[in-house]
Amino acid sequence: MNIRSLSSSYLVFSALHIVLFTMAIVSAALYGIDLANRSPQNNPKGSRWIFAEVVAGLSAITSVLYLIPDILRSMCVWIWDLVLFILWISLFGVFGKMFIHEPVADHNSSLHRMKAAVWVDLANAILWLVATLATATYWWGHKERRSRFTGRASLY
């Protein structure tokens, strides 16, 4: 398969999903460090961090699957992208409420990391919104169409 034989829309979507994969891995790493270092005494609410890891994992797996040609043509792709956008926005809300207004001590690297993770969550949400709108637009423009008179002929 030659790169010149691929359509430009596939290359753009592939670039977008590579960025989404990278951002999901960054988010998973930021939350994973805190999850690995937590103990039940200092952080009993580990379910929020597990939720963050699940959302990042779903995003990473989805991004890799979307690199397969012709998957983006199915109708449910933009719906799943919308679900991921909602998950990222909820993740931003949960951790944003916890960490955005928290005062930062001079040498508290965990708090700096969590504040960075909140903004990575927002960037992920915005990128998944862009992916949702792009795939919905792509699907609408490339869906299978039938002739108006009989409905039997496929129009492309």
Residue pLDDT, tens place only, 7-53:
787 888 899 999 999 999 999 999 998 888 776 666 656 889 999 99
- Rounded CA gap, 89 and 155, in Å? 38
Q: Kindly state the tokens that stand for 20.
A: 């989404």
φ, ψ of residue 67 in degrees (nearest 5): -75, -10
pLDDT of residue 82: 96
54-67 residues labelled b (16+ CB within 10 A) or e (exposed): ebbebbbebbeebe
Average pLDDT, integer, range 110-132: 93
Q: In DSSP terms, which residues pair with 145 in a beta bridge?
A: 155
Partnered with residue 146 across adjacent β-strands are: 154
Angle between helices 8-37 and 109-142 (to 10 degrees): 150
pLDDT of residue 146: 58
Mean pLDDT, rounded, for 91-112:
84
